Amino acid sequence: MHTSMNHSGESPPTATNRPLAILIVLLLAGWLLRTGGVCRPVEAERSVHPGINREYQNPDIPRWMGRFESESREIYEHRDRIVADVLAGPRGLALARGEIAIADIGAGTGFFSMLFGTAVGSHGRVYSVDIVPEFLELIRERSEKEGLNNIATVLCSERDVRLPPESIDLAFVCDTYHHFEYPRSTLASIFRALRSGGELVIIDFHRIEGVSRPWIIEHVRCDQQTVIEEVIAAGFEPDESPDADYLEENYFLRFRKP
């Protein structure tokens, strides 16, 4: 059987291929008209609260210790109960003593890191994560003084907690979520760092117009429902949260990585 060939030795396109080729050309032309022929990069996430962390540059450590570790601050007053509620999660994290890795994200002066380090025992692991080198140096000194060899410090960025993938069982974020300048990127990095089934605990201020203190209204960017929506959008699932009725100005939320 004789087959028609073009000058290059290839068979010419058949009639059945022509409509498909024309469709591809038309789709490509339409894309070029819409985009101007330029492959546009995905727009980078913008800060939701520029300058929120500026006050931590070159921090006065004694001043921040006095502010963070004051019995008049309900988070500090109820610190032991908070740790107990965190470790008594729905999957019984308290039973995993010695086998659990916790990230204290936005560790500050480190009092929660110290409590977690004591609670998980010598075979557990606590990562104190913060953007402030001076806070991390303070935590190193405190953990050494208290003989806690299971605490490691991690200098994070404003977009990334900088923990290895699937390296932690629990991410603890206390009065720190409203300091996330780039919550979408930061939540994505926390999601990567958690093992499957791992938990994210967020404690932060109630922001209710006409109810919350003026400082909270001015300082905290969003309310509890907005936080829930942002965390779910990052891939987390809501989980059973403790009643935490001992907290008045703060809510206590628990999420899980599927």
User: CATH number for the domain including 93?
Assistant: 3.40.50.150
Mark out the alpha helices in the chain (DSSP H runs).
18-35, 61-68, 74-77, 79-87, 111-120, 133-145, 183-193, 214-219, 224-233
Rounded Cα gap, residues 207 and 221, in angstroms: 8
Q: Which domain holds residue 100?
A: 60-256
Number of domains the chain contains: 1
| 47 belongs to a structural domain | no
pTM beyond 0.95 = no
Q: Collect all residues with Cβ–Cβ distance below 8 Å to 35 and sequence separation of at least 6.
A: none
Instruction: Please write the tens of the pLDDT for every residue from 133-185.
Output: 999 999 999 999 999 999 999 999 999 999 999 999 999 999 999 999 999 99
From the list 217, 187, 218, the residue with the least C-alpha distance to 202 is: 187
Which residue in the block uniquely carries the two structure tokens 């994070």? 156
| 16 belongs to a structural domain | no
Quick one: pLDDT at residue 145?
A: 97
Q: 172-193: buried (b, 16+ CB within 10 Å) or exposed (e) per residue? A: bbbbbbbbbbbbebbbbbbbbb
| 33 belongs to a structural domain | no
